[in-house]
Amino acid sequence: MKDSEKLEPRETHGEAGSVAEARRKRRAARISVISNTALILGKLTVGLVMSSVAIISTAVDSAIDLLAALIALYAVRQSARPPDRGHVYGHGKFEDLSGAIEAALILIGACFIVYEAVLRLIRGSEVAFPLLGLAVMGFSGLVDVVVSSYLFRVARQTESVALEADALHLSTDVWTSLGVMAAMGLIWATGWHWLDPVVAIAVAVLIIITAYRLTRKTVHGLVDAPLPAADEAAILAILREHKEIHIGWDSLRTRRAGPERHIDLHLHFPPSMPVQEAHAIAHHIQHDIEAALPRSQVLIHLEPCEGDCRSCEKEPCPDRTEPSEGLE
């Protein structure tokens, strides 16, 4: 029996799955746009009425969220497009780029919040209707919990960098909402109006931390860092699983572009093996890798073995000239 006849294909992600994922990603991005628009209007109106820099700062943060959600919506639409002559490796890096832009926007928003808060500390100001602010921030936090949880779930399912960035930013908004709620409660109970700009600065610090975490993640994709160790271990496990039908491999290279994985390697075969048979084996291994790691593009280059028979354990092999050390 030929080696290529021993192969049983695994189930792959499939084109239908890719289309369904693209729809889910677009739907999640649209929900983020709608929720952020509503929160901006509510928080900005209440913040101006109350003259609260803390609540206005969260409105600015939500405005950044809205812009980020629009960028994410554009990015997931672009990343779903098939490769073309101008982008032969696909459009996955649109998601990495959108994450980097969002990180920059988050940092700009944080700087604005700090500037306004410091001015309020220097000049002094009083907050009106703190209980109104407490109620609005409680509702805002609840919305952020629901939307960010949904975005995280879709991001995990589709491995979307853009949606994960959006979800990460919204999840920090939950903590900022809790902080502002606590400040409004204390201002109402104690009259300590200086808490308003202090909490605004704390909100800005949380936003800066989010920007740093997001920048680290997106830079990995933009500079073609290798896939995580778990992904590379899965590739090596598949290659070892089929070691009886090939001689070995080298030059394994991996990288990520948005939700897509790019994998290439050299696979070694006996010189006498027909090209058609070697190609069938390589195609099967490619199929198995793509099944184990969805959204992967695998390129396998066929190489004849270099004649090092003593280190090779493939049996039977018509090209063997000396026994293998592992089989002696």
Q: Considering 167, 201, 222, which residue would you say is the last residue of a domain?
A: 222
Residues 49 and 153 in one domain: yes
Q: Report whether 302 contacts 315 (CB < 8 A).
A: no
- The pLDDT value given to residue 165: 75
Domain-embedded: residue 134: yes
Apex 326 CA angle, 325 and 327, nearest 5 = 95
Apex 164 CA angle, 227 and 117, nearest 5 = 125
Q: Considering 222, 253, 287, which residue would you say is the last residue of a domain?
A: 222
Kind and range of the H or E element at 125? none
* CATH code of residue 65: 1.20.1510.10
Residues 302 and 280 in one domain: yes
Domain-embedded: residue 130: yes
**Which residues of the chain register pLDDT less than 50?**
1, 5, 12, 16, 327-328
- The pLDDT value given to residue 146: 92
Residues 64 and 141 in one domain: yes
- List the domain range (segments joined by +) for residue 290: 227-311
In terms of phi and psi (left: phi > 0; alpha: psi -120 to 50; beta: otherwise), the region of 136 is alpha
Domain-embedded: residue 10: no
- The pLDDT value given to residue 72: 73
* Alpha carbon distance 101, 183 (integer Å): 31
Closest CA to 187 of 129, 105, 112: 129
DSSP-derived 3-state class of residue 253: strand
* Alpha carbon distance 24, 120 (integer Å): 43
- The pLDDT value given to residue 16: 46
Tell me the pLDDT tens digit for each residue of 154-177: 888 887 777 887 787 788 778 778
Q: Report whether 132 contacts 50 (CB < 8 A).
A: yes
Domain-embedded: residue 326: no
* CATH code of residue 307: 3.30.70.1350
Domains: count for the chain: 2
Closest CA to 132 of 42, 41, 39: 42
The pTM score is 0.59
Indicate the DSSP class of residue 87.
B
Residues 50 and 199 in one domain: yes
Domain-embedded: residue 188: yes
* Alpha carbon distance 34, 151 (integer Å): 13
Residues 232 and 189 in one domain: no
Residues 212 and 284 in one domain: no
Q: Which residues pair with 254 in a beta bridge?
A: 263
Residues 177 and 282 in one domain: no
Residues 159 and 256 in one domain: no
Instruction: Assign 3-class secondary structure to 229-244.
Output: HHHHHHHHHHHHHCCC
Q: Considering 183, 203, 222, which residue would you say is the last residue of a domain?
A: 222
Residues 233 and 140 in one domain: no
Closest CA to 285 of 1, 2, 26, 4: 4
Domain-embedded: residue 127: yes
Tell me the pLDDT tens digit for each residue of 73-85: 777 777 777 777 7
In terms of phi and psi (left: phi > 0; alpha: psi -120 to 50; beta: otherwise), the region of 323 is beta
Domain-embedded: residue 3: no
* Alpha carbon distance 298, 275 (integer Å): 19
Residues 269 and 246 in one domain: yes
Domain-embedded: residue 202: yes
Residues 302 and 215 in one domain: no
Residues 111 and 47 in one domain: yes
